[in-house]
Amino acid sequence: MPGYRFVVADDHPLFRGALQQALGGLGANCEILEAGDFADAKALISRDPDIDLMLLDLAMPGASGLTGLVALRGLCPAVPIVIVSAHDDPQTIRRALELGASGFISKSARMDEMRRAVQTVLDGGIYIPDGVDLGEGRDEEELINRMRTLTPQQARVLSMLGEGLLNKQIAYELNVSEATVKAHVSAILQKLGVDSRTQAVICLSRIGTTPLSESI
């Protein structure tokens, strides 16, 4: 079996250890990188193009719910991301998959199920926990569909708007001109069907903190 490179992003060291144990069962040549907060996760995925898969906790410090997934998908869309969370209700799972996650693992899952989920994604599939009925609820379907029309760079800009960064700060972080950032912001507003940066950030918070807001 070829060697894999993983990122385990979770703020609880004990659970990172459990995930490492699960991943270790996939082969002797696995390399596992750890991130204890969202800033570390972004740094790892940004500077390492050879990551095969990231396991991401939804409740990471520095990110609010699914907004972290949106940001990382914009930052590096080629890296599969599997959400690992105790918030495993069907609505959260459905939203994660609609926003680009390649799978979802409940923190209550057994070790063999975690391995099966990761292997499914490595093989090019999408993993949904056994027995989960995603149903037909589509209360945020229109907003999620609009989010999915954003380019990776636009998703990054929206994430930075959500962090409260100004245009000049975003331009510095992305190494582009302020005019380019303004163009991205205009495109984001048009795609989301809103009139202001504030409304765009509210849209981001809607998919990021609901239904997790009471628990995070």
> What is the C-alpha separation between 24 and 27, in angstroms, rounded?
6
Asked if 167 and 77 sit in the same domain, the reply is no
pLDDT of residue 215: 32
Asked if 151 and 200 sit in the same domain, the reply is yes
User: Given 87, 122, 157, which residue is the final one in a domain?
Assistant: 122
* Cβ-contact 90, 134 below 8 angstroms: yes
Q: Pick the closest to residue 72 from 38, 98, 121 (CA basis).
A: 38
What's this model's pTM, rounded to 2 decimal places?
Answer: 0.69
The pLDDT profile of the chain, 216 residues, written as one tens digit per residue, is 457 889 999 998 888 888 888 888 776 678 889 999 989 999 998 888 789 999 999 888 887 778 888 888 888 888 899 999 988 888 888 888 888 888 999 988 888 899 899 989 988 888 888 877 766 555 567 788 888 888 889 988 998 888 888 889 999 999 999 999 999 999 999 998 888 787 788 788 777 644 333 332
pLDDT of residue 181: 92
Asked if 115 and 170 sit in the same domain, the reply is no
Asked if 60 and 145 sit in the same domain, the reply is no
Asked if 24 and 79 sit in the same domain, the reply is yes
* Cβ-contact 140, 95 below 8 angstroms: yes
Query: Residue 43 falls within a domain, yes or no?
Result: yes
Q: Which two tokens stand for residue 179?
A: 């005019």
pLDDT of residue 135: 61
Q: What is the DSSP letter of 47?
A: H
Q: Is 127 exposed, middle or buried (0-12, 13-18, 19+ CB in 10 A)?
A: buried
Asked if 183 and 150 sit in the same domain, the reply is yes
Q: Which domain holds residue 172?
A: 141-209
Say which CATH number the domain at 172 has.
1.10.10.10
Which residues does residue 55 pair with via DSSP β-bridges, in sequence order? 8, 82
As for how many domains the chain has, the answer is 2
Say which CATH number the domain at 13 has.
3.40.50.2300
